[in-house]
A and B are shown apart, each in its own frame.
Chain A
C-alpha cells in the first residue's frame, strides 16, 4: 500500500514570497490533516478535512494560509506571503476512520523562509 505522498520535500523562499505544498493521502482515507512542526516542538494541527469539507481550521492563520481539498483526495496548502516564523516542516497525514484512528504521516515538506 502506498503511503502519504508530499511534495516538494524541501523549499527555500524569501519572506513575502508565496509557496504551495501538495499532499496525496493514502487511497480511501477520507480524513486529511495538515500540521506545522517547528523545530523542537510537536506537530500543531493547521487544518483537518473530512472528504472535501473542512472539519477544523481553528489554528490556521487565515490571513496568510489557505488550504483546499477540492475532490476529496489531493490537498494543497498555500502560504502567501510567507514570514520568517513560517520556517517549519509541514506534515500531511491521513486516516481511515472506518478502520482506526491511526494517523499516517507523509515525509513532510521542510520550508525555510529567509
Chain B
C-alpha cells in the first residue's frame, strides 16, 4: 500500500468554482502534512502547511482528519492561475522521511 494516495484527476472546473481535493495516508504515526503546488514542467513549491486545527490562506483552506487519516485542500473562487498539480506531502516523526503523493491535476477553464 502506498504511503500517500491522491485522486490523480484531472479536475476540470470553471473559473469561480470551489474545488476540493483529498489525500489519504497509511501511517497513523505521521507527524506533519503539507500541500505543494507543481506547475507543468516546473519544480514543486510549498503551498501551505496543514495544521490539526485547520488553516486558511486567502482562498485556500487545508484540513487534517487524523482519525480518518486524510487531509484536504479547498480552493474557493478558482482562478485560471490555479491550474497546476497539487501534491500532498506527509512526514514521519521528526521529519525523518517525506512522502509525496502522485498529485491531483486541476484545470481551471474560462
- Whether B43 is near chain A, meaning CB under 8 Å from some CB there, is yes
Q: Which of A44, A97, A102, A106 interacts with B100 by CB under 8 Å?
A: A44
Total interface residues in chain A, CB < 8 Å: 20
Nearest B residue to A55 via CB reads B96
- Whether B1 is near chain A, meaning CB under 8 Å from some CB there, is no
User: Bound complex: CA of A40 vs CA of B102, how far in Å?
Assistant: 7
Interface bracket on B: 20 to 34
Contact with B along A19-38 (1 / 0, CB 8 A): 00000000000000101000
- Whether A67 is near chain B, meaning CB under 8 Å from some CB there, is no
User: Bound complex: CA of A108 vs CA of B40, how far in Å?
Assistant: 13
Residues of B within 8 A of A (CB): 4, 6, 8, 32, 34, 42-46, 87, 91, 95-103
Task: Pull 20 A–B residue pairs with CB atoms less than 8 Å apart, ordered by A.
Answer: A35-B100, A40-B102, A42-B6, A42-B87, A42-B101, A43-B44, A43-B87, A43-B100, A45-B97, A45-B98, A48-B97, A56-B97, A91-B44, A102-B34, A102-B46, A103-B44, A103-B98, A105-B43, A107-B43, A108-B43
